């Protein structure tokens, strides 16, 4: 895995200390990701331990208040010394965002960050992410099972199956012109805004194979409606079907052709 063009070095302590200043994580479960023994001030300012500079208590408080304000916890002073059990799920996730914001990271890895939140809170959290991306230039690795969220927040989308990226490309291309049969099956169940009618659903048969006992060849072939003998024997390489749009498939776009021939 590359970060800013260079391999991540997990065994290099000096490198990892610098990496943690530049990359932050938001977890899925706001009820499990915050230390219940720390108050909000302690949680939000803990990443400052990775900074070379030492901060006074007053400086930490100012930074924490700014981060909480940005994350939408206003007035921030009302939340600064509360404990996690005194906050709602949405408020806890905002504390996690403030913890990231205080470091001004270049990258935030967000693992299903809104899946456990109410719909109204989801929209506010997603707006925060968009603001960080547009105003501060923060890059996001946004992990989700909800493709509609991926289209909404992402510039590029990667679709994975059993631990492998099957297709990656610009979000607008993947949402409307995906080429891998698995991607096409996923997008077929989405009712996209503005469509006159919903496209026919593509139902996948069979069970998902075990990730510790992967099938030979293409790992998707046991469930692929258009799998051929080659798919069962050879793992496909990535091919570029459009500029910046890559697919791991021997026959990209074949499912659409198959449906058209019926």
pLDDT digits (tens, 9 = 90+) for 87-112: 999 999 999 999 999 999 999 999 99
Residue 197 has pLDDT above 60, yes or no: no
Q: What pLDDT sits at residue 259?
A: 53
Q: What is the pLDDT of residues 209-256, one digit of tens each?
A: 999 999 999 999 999 999 999 999 999 999 999 999 999 999 999 876
Measure the CA–CA gap between 198 and 50, rounded to whole angstroms.
50
Beta bridge partners, 170, equal 156
pTM for this model (two decimals)? 0.86
How do beta strands 6-7 and 2-3 pair?
A: antiparallel
**Interatomic CA distance for residues 200 and 203, integer angstroms:** 9
Instruction: Provide the residue count of the chain.
Output: 262
* Cis peptide bond prior to 75, omega within 30° of 0: yes
pLDDT digits (tens, 9 = 90+) for 8-17: 999 898 899 8
CA distances for 213 relative to 1, 109, 209, 250, angstroms: 24, 28, 7, 22
Q: Domains of the chain (ranges plus CATH)?
A: 2-143 (3.40.50.300), 156-261 (no CATH)
Averaged pLDDT, 153-160:
95
Answer positive or negative: Cα dihedral of 118, 121, 123, 128. negative
Q: Which helix (H) or strand (E) holds 25?
A: strand 23-26
Give the whole-number percent of the chain exceeding pLDDT 90: 73
Q: pLDDT tens for residues 107-149?
A: 999 999 999 988 888 889 999 999 999 988 999 999 999 988 8
Strand partners for 167: 159, 247
The mean of the pLDDT values for the chain is 91
Cα 129 to Cα 85, 109, 110, 121, 163: the distances in Å are 25, 11, 10, 13, 25
């Amino acid at each position: 895995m590359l970060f800013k063009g260079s391999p991540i070095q997990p065994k290099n302590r000096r490198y990892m200390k610098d990496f943690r200043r530049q990359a932050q994580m938001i977890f899925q479960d706001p009820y499990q990701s915050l230390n219940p023994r720390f108050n909000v001030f302690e949680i939000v300012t803990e990443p400052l331990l990775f900074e070379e500079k030492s901060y006074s208590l007053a400086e930490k408080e100012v930074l924490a208040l700014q981060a909480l304000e940005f994350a939408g916890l206003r007035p921030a002073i009302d939340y600064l010394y509360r404990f996690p059990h005194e906050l709602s799920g949405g408020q806890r996730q905002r504390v996690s965002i403030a913890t990231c914001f205080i470091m001004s990271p270049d990258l935030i890895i967000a693992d299903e960050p809104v899946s456990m939140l109410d719909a109204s809170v989801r929209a506010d959290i997603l707006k925060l992410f968009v603001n960080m991306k547009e105003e501060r230039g923060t890059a996001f690795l946004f992990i989700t099972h909800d493709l509609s969220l991926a289209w909404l927040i992402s510039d590029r989308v990667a679709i994975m199956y059993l631990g492998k990226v099957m297709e990656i490309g610009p979000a607008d291309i993947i949402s409307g012109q995906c080429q891998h049969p698995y991607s096409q099956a996923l997008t077929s169940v989405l009712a996209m805004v503005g469509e006159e009618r919903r496209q026919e659903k593509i139902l996948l048969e069979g069970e998902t194979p075990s990730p510790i006992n992967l099938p030979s060849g293409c790992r998707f072939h046991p469930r692929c409606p258009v799998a051929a003998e080659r798919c069962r024997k050879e793992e496909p390489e990535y091919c570029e079907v459009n500029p910046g749009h890559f697919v791991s498939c021997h026959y990209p776009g074949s499912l659409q052709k198959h449906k058209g021939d019926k």
